[in-house]
Amino acid sequence: MTYTEILVEIVGWTGALLILLAYLLLSMGKLTGQSALYQWMNVVGAAGFTVNGWWHGALPSAALNVIWMLIGGVALWQIARKKDLSTSAR
């Protein structure tokens, strides 16, 4: 394996672990869907899956994970917006 191939695999497995850990923490009640940490774990994890899927030519998986990242990005934007509104109301 080349350095690039190893790096792509590490990025993909790291993404998988992040998404699984986020889901585990959500299921255990340690995080909520409105948690910035939960959303960041999903966004970064999906980015890892996107890189890995694209590299391996798994375009449906890569496309799904781009959408997953966009959903997480919108959720993060809404979380930040709510935080800004609540601090400006004081």
Any idea where the domains of the chain sit in the sequence?
A: 3-83
- This prediction's pTM: 0.90
Q: In whole angstroms, what is the distance from residue 47 CA to residue 88 CA? A: 33
What pLDDT shows up at residue 86? 78
Give me the pLDDT at residue 89, please. 59
pLDDT in tens, 37-87: 999 999 999 999 999 999 999 999 999 999 999 999 999 999 999 988 877
Going by pLDDT thresholds of 50, 70 and 90, the confidence category of residue 90 is low
Within the chain, where are the H helices? 3-27, 36-55, 59-88
| Among 80, 11, 10, 9, CA closest to 39 | 80
So what's the pLDDT on residue 64? 98
